[in-house]
């Protein structure tokens, strides 16, 4: 069950960077959910490389859904999403293919797959596979929105530049829905892009932090042990390539807070229980409390850089140097934003279906 995740709603990923297709099987969605192609395309477009700050590789990301949809609605059976790899250039079949790119999975893939792995473009480890994850997640996001559950992710930090924090989520989601570059403060976004370009010019790369908010998520979902909302979300989020840290609410800042400052006090407002603060990111005891879900992902700098690096030839075992040619992203944090929202949406659909049954998301009645 390696490439499959989820219980009631699950996703299975397959494909390699330079194979004919990458894709995903999305299973467990209720029948009767409307498939919105515009929505999916917008998410894929947000994930796609673009403008001066991304790789020059262009993918049309023309997906097709070959099962599980009829007349524009989910049937309740698994959706298989196929995305052809159109812009694959011929692989490097010389000695370079044996040079482990630092920061990449080339060496660990060799340990695990004994040389049988597809090395072209990173193979199954390629960030390209997130296009399939994003497409599957976009369908889940759209289904959640139909139930007034909304997700948005912004770059809260990139190359030392901070975006402003989430404030009025309704307004902020509107901003992010229209943004070409996922930040709340456009000026901060411009400075981030400058830093990204500067890194590119130095033949280097930069990382960042993504912060996600979810509104409208029902209270009472999640489990106290093991299948906590935090555990389920982080399990998924660490699959988004380059994510090396996940925190909820104030996360690592909580380590320096006192209990009296950190505790979110419940308060009754017009007969409904809410909380005076949201330091726990909407999750206490592993279970949602009705506040917006808040979490952040640390994204490491893109490992592919043009600078010369030391490495090992995996065939000969000799120490050598590597200069990675080709098309690289000096940052992927802006592209990862879409993947993070989409990936989280799959988990949230699963947690709702587990708790409320498989028809919850569509509102079908027996």
Q: Which of residues 47-106 bind its own copies (CB under 8 A)?
A: 64, 66-68, 70, 73-80, 82, 100, 102-105
Contact of 247 with 295, CB cutoff 8 Å: yes
**Interface stretch with its own copies, choices 43-51, 53-61, 166-174, 352-360 (CB under 8 A):** 352-360
Residue 158 interacts with its own copies (CB under 8 A): yes or no = yes
Minimal distance, residue 288 CB to its own copies, in Å: 7
Residue 105 CA: distances (Å) to CA of 132, 224, 345: 20, 34, 26
Residue 216 interacts with its own copies (CB under 8 A): yes or no = no
Burial zone of 223 (CB within 10 Å; 0-12 exposed, 13-18 middle, 19+ buried): middle
Q: How many whole angstroms separate alpha carbon 67 and alpha carbon 75?
A: 9
Q: Kindly tell me which residue out of 211, 234, 278, 341 binds its own copies, with binding defined by CB under 8 A.
A: 234
**Centroid of chain to Cα 303:** 17
Q: Kindly tell me which residue out of 175, 204, 215, 216 binds its own copies, with binding defined by CB under 8 A.
A: 204
Residue 255 interacts with its own copies (CB under 8 A): yes or no = yes
**Centroid of chain to Cα 14:** 16
Minimal distance, residue 91 CB to its own copies, in Å: 11
**Interface stretch with its own copies, choices 47-55, 141-149, 180-188, 351-359 (CB under 8 A):** 351-359
Residue 52 vs 113, nearer CB to its own copies:
113
Residue 44 vs 336, nearer CB to its own copies:
336
Residue 42 vs 235, nearer CB to its own copies:
235
Residue 16 interacts with its own copies (CB under 8 A): yes or no = yes
Q: Kindly tell me which residue out of 307, 315, 325, 326 binds its own copies, with binding defined by CB under 8 A.
A: 307
Contact of 366 with 241, CB cutoff 8 Å: no
First-last CA distance in the chain: 31
Q: Kindly tell me which residue out of 257, 315, 323, 325 binds its own copies, with binding defined by CB under 8 A.
A: 257
Residues near 179 by Cβ (< 8 Å), separated by ≥ 6? 186, 189
Apex 115 CA angle, 304 and 108, nearest 5: 50
Minimal distance, residue 68 CB to its own copies, in Å: 7
Residue 267 interacts with its own copies (CB under 8 A): yes or no = yes
Residue 278 vs 341, nearer CB to its own copies:
278
Q: How many whole angstroms separate alpha carbon 181 and alpha carbon 155?
A: 9
Residue 194 interacts with its own copies (CB under 8 A): yes or no = no
What is the DSSP track for 11-22? EEEEE-TTSSEE
Look at residue 87 and give its three-state secondary structure. coil
Residue 182 interacts with its own copies (CB under 8 A): yes or no = no
């Amino acid at each position: 069950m390696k490439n499959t995740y989820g219980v009631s709603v699950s996703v299975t990923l397959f494909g390699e960077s330079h194979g004919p297709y990458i894709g995903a099987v999305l299973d467990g969605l209720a029948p009767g959910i409307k498939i919105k192609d515009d929505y999916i395309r917008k998410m894929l477009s947000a994930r796609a490389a673009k403008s001066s700050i991304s790789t020059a590789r262009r993918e049309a990301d023309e997906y097709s859904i070959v099962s599980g949809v009829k007349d524009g609605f989910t049937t309740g059976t698994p959706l298989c999403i196929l995305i052809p790899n159109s812009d694959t250039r011929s692989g490097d079949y010389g000695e370079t293919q044996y040079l482990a790119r630092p920061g990449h999975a080339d060496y660990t893939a060799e340990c695990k797959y004994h040389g049988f792995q597809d090395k072209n473009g990173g193979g199954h480890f390629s960030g390209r596979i997130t296009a399939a994850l994003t497409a599957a997640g976009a369908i889940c996001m759209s289904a959640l929105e139909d139930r007034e559950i909304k997700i948005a992710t912004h770059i809260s930090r990139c190359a030392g530049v901070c975006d402003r924090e989430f404030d009025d989520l309704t307004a902020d989601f509107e901003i992010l829905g229209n943004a070409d570059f996922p930040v709340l403060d456009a000026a901060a976004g411009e400075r981030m892009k400058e830093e990204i370009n500067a890194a590119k010019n130095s033949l280097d790369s930069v990382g960042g932090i993504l912060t996600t908010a979810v509104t409208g998520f029902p209270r009472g979902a999640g489990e106290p042990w093991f299948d906590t909302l935090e555990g389920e979300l982080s399990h998924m989020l660490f699959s988004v390539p380059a994510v090396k840290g996940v925190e909820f609410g104030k996360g690592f800042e909580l380590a320096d807070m006192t209990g009296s400052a950190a505790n979110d006090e419940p308060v009754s407002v017009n007969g409904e229980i809410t909380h005076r603060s949201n330091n726990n990111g909407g999750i206490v005891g592993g279970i949602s409390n009705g506040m917006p879900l808040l979490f952040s992902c640390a994204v490491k700098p893109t490992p592919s850089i043009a600078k010369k690096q030391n490495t090992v030839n995996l065939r000969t075992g000799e120490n050598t140097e590597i200069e990675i040619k080709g098309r690289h992203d000096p940052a992927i944090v802006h592209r990862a934003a879409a993947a993070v929202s989409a990936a989280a949406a799959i988990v949230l659909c699963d947690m709702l279906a587990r708790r409320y049954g498989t028809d919850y998301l569509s509102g079908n009645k027996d």
